[in-house]
A and B are shown apart, each in its own frame.
Chain A
Amino acid sequence: MADQESGSGNEPLVTEPPAHTNGNGHRQGGPEQTAEFVAEWRNAAYNCFSSGHKFCREVCPVTQVTRNESWTPTAFHANVVAMEQGDMAIEDMAADYVNCTQCGACELRCPNTLFTGDFYRFRTKTVELVKAVRALAVDNDVHQPGWQRWNQLTDQRTHEPVLGEVPVDQEHVRDWADGLDIPIGGENILFVDCEAAFYRTSLPRAVAQILQTAGYEFGLMQEQWCCGGPAAEMGYVDQARRFAEHNLANWRASGAKRILVLDPHDYISFTEEYPKFFGDDYDIEIVLVVELFAELIREGRLTPSVPIERTVTYHDPCRLNKRKGIWSEPREILRAIPGLEFKDVDRVTQWSYCSGAGAGLIIEKPELTAAISGRRMDRAAELDVDTLVSACPWSERPLSEAGSERSIDVVDIHEILAESLDIEVGGRTST
């Protein structure tokens, strides 16, 4: 009876074949898979359903804007119980699970995590559940049109189609680094996610030049593919695994011992998805650039000295603050920058904040993302600031749009640090 619970946290080691695969090792839908899914998630689903507290509701960015109980974490868990009873099938449910940015507020705020999750080594895992249901939908050929297209294009181009109709591709993945003389390969590899590599090129340029200023040696991958995280978030698990396998092999081929990560979404992929795929074989170190920069400032290897005359507030990216408990280093960096007037909002209040861009929501429901970003920028506007600093490139696109309507600039923390280090960053912040 004591089977290890998988998916809900106790993933089987990579050496075992994944749930319900066909002869090629690919995931396969059908009633057996559904039965396995329900068996895997029933305790987690009952844990939520039978408590029914809904402490999650008011911190959920989607629920704050829509007030729709059908899209609350409680409903997401309840559906699994209903599925077990034969009252619901994946076709009935799939569309509801679009409405989630996987920000992690709910599962952190849930008393089953916050008060007893560490005690029992059993916490609420709404993010994993949403991913699992989305995967179940995909495996059973129930697709969201925007996501299906997005992931098909990503598969074709090995990068996400972040420039819309303008194609991205492997040939241009390092164009952001023009003129910076960054070598290929080495022990420290800087991984630049798709949004930064193709869209917000000022960000990786800022990071690369700050590293160079600090004398921190690093290189780029021989052949960087998308991390595969978005595919995993939207339910395209086979694709996520393929991309992860490619990237790990390429890191090794590049001589990498550690990967520097500038995007919180990649940080999640590399510290949560990749360990699930690779287990004990996963011997690569992952370093978040914003933590590294805070340390370099402490050590005196970086000294921001150019005053930046801005009144700023900081947006805690969901995938740093809520998902990982990383909130202090970005504030350290901002406090080290002269000239800034920093109006902070504490990290717990920010459990309720989100840009609305994550987990594919911006692709399938851009108007919902815009509403969530609008709400976030309303909070910033109340503080009477001219600038919002974020540490997540994916958040910066919708926040910039909402910010421009409120006369608030949206700046990435690496960019503002670079400016104070007297670096002429180059690149662009938007098309």
Chain B
Amino acid sequence: MTTTAPVSQVSDVVLEELVQVLGSDHVLTNVTDRYARTRVPAPFPVHRWRDYVPDLVVMPGSTEEVAEVVRVANRHRVPVVPRDGGTGLTDGARPERRGIVIDVKRMDQIEEIDLQNRTCTVGVGINMLKLNEVLAAHNLIYPDDPASYPCSLVGGRIGTSGWSLIGSRFGHTRDLVLSFDFVLPTGRVIRVGDGGPKTSKSSSGYQLKHLFMGHQGTLGVATRATLKLFPKPEAEFSPFWAFTDFDSAYRTVQALAHAGVATFAGAVLFDEEKVAYLRRDDEAYIPQPGDVRSLVCSVAYGNEDEVRAGAKRLMRIARDHGARYLGDEISEGDWAARHDRYATPLHGRTRANQVVPMSWHCEDAAINWTQLPRVRQEWHRIVARIRERFDAFDDWGMFFYTSASTGVDYLTEIDVGIWEQQLSDEMWEAWVEAKRDIAGVALDAGGSISACHGSCREGEVDLVPTELGGGYDVMLKVKRALDPNNIMNPGKYGLDRAYGPSGDGAGTSETGKEVS
């Protein structure tokens, strides 16, 4: 039976070279292998799936195999797209020019646990929760805690420069990863870190680690990483408080962040639209009285005596700000659920309130506390406008999370439901425009388009040059220098601009043309 799936553009010569490197078991050409590795959880124009399907997939088992694959790709100018968990939210792993997906999940071994220096070295295909199950036997933990904690993988955390729910205490991925093996777009392998493999802070030479984190697979492929470990916390404290209005909650969350409690690991503010949304289908909030309109939660980890002392301060501050504690059952249950808090599709509602399965757009701007109310207002307005036009969009409210221990800025999230089964080109274009407007608000407020996912999605990516200013030119120069043939995840971040009108390398577009 003929189907409409795209035929592979990779030549038999290339295919044969890859089989030589990896063995035929680890070179996958079936349509199912390719379709499964196209999208990520971010909303996807499913009606145009075949535009993004890779030509084939490889599953290397070592750094050397990754390097060889990249060399083959360079020789033949075939695009490669690194893919680890495929749980990112900014289309970093979505192929823009098809090509070869380098799926690194096979490299998931724990190579070493160094109990004295408190590090471990792992293949980047490993998941943090599975790693921590092993580390628990040594009373240690690797506290990199995104909402995708049970399913995101170390390599993707490096590729996105991940953000952690408890980063205010333990740091984010960039603080927790000490070093990693990295395959450059030419196939050369380097070790990236702070000097030695197990050092946390170096001033020797250029500090390259941050450059090679958050590049969304456009500068190469991490294969093996050394991580910083902490003692497994003795105690956890995670209070939830209710407020009658957003403003009191908003002031309270900053008071908590400003309190200087050493075991403070984060605080989250829920706006009124978020609470209204939760009343639809969240068992903790359905029975709440009508005057519960806004919420704050906080979390602390550490030694029991220190957590208790900190807990008293936090509870007193909240109480003095008019908060009502929601009780232990909700506080404990809802916090435990935060370690795997990707939205479930049936939260979607049409304007007539009927349940529909919606994909989840999760905005993640970095905004200063002083700007949160304004961003909140403008974002809800943008979503209301698109919802008015199309019943396939839904506003699921906003969260604001501390990113640092001082309350300087908040990961500011609006959740938008998108009914993918209904998508047409017109609706998708309207969405891309709304997305661009949402990103624009973040920049007008002096923030960043993205605190954690990255910003290479349609709509927002157009504003990255504005956000980085002169820094974007540096980005282009670095990209060109490291990836002369433009084979490493080409088309991301508008980086084709680095290659000029002559179109050097694989799959380049004309200068200045937007990549979609």
Contacts and interface: CB of A to CB of B under 8 A. Distances in A.
Interface in A24-67: 42-43, 46-47, 49-58, 67
Contact of B127 (A42, A58, A86, A91): A58
B3 A68 contact: no
Nearest to A57: B151
Interface stretch (A70-78, A159-167, A211-219): A70-78
Contacts of B358: 50
Contacts of B125: 67
A361 interface: no
B431 to A, nearest CB: 14
Interface string A173-197: 0000000000000000000000000
A264 B181 CA distance: 46
The number of chain B residues touching the other chain, given as a range, is 35 or more
A349 B132 CA distance: 12
Given A54-B151, A67-B125, A112-B345, A89 B3 contact: yes
B105 A67 contact: yes
A120 B346 contact: yes
A115 B421 contact: no
B391 interface: no
B421 A42 contact: yes
Interface residues of A, number: 43
B32 A92 contact: yes
Contacts of A68: 59, 105
Contacts of A50: 43-44, 46, 345, 357-359, 418, 420-421
Given A47-B345, A50-B357, A112-B345, A82 B150 contact: no
A85 interface: yes
Nearest to A77: B36
A85 B39 contact: no
B30 A87 contact: no
Contacts of B103: 69
Contact of B346 (A93, A112, A349): A112
Contacts of A86: 3-4
Interface string B354-378: 0101111000000000000000000
B33 interface: yes
Given A68-B59, A88-B32, A51 B86 contact: no
Contact of B35 (A52, A54, A82, A119): A82
B106 A67 contact: yes
Interface string B223-262: 0000000000000000000000000000000000000000
Contacts of B355: 120
B340 interface: yes
Interface in B308-350: 337, 340, 342-347
A405 interface: no
B49 A87 contact: yes
A85 B421 contact: no
A310 to B, nearest CB: 23
Contacts of B484: none
A70 B28 CA distance: 9
A337 interface: no
A282 interface: no
B220 to A, nearest CB: 21
B36 A87 contact: no
Contacts of B340: 55, 111
B49 A47 contact: no
A173 B355 CA distance: 51
Nearest to B125: A67
Nearest to A58: B127
A92 B30 contact: yes
Interface of B: 1, 3-5, 28, 30-33, 35-37, 39-41, 43-44, 46-47, 49-50, 59, 85-87, 103, 105-106, 108, 125, 127, 129-130, 133, 148, 150-151, 281, 283, 337, 340, 342-347, 355, 357-360, 418, 420-421
Given A50-B418, A51-B343, 13 more contacts: A50-B359, A50-B420, A54-B86, A55-B151, A69-B103, A75-B36, A78-B36, A81-B46, A89-B1, A91-B1, A92-B31, A96-B32, A111-B344
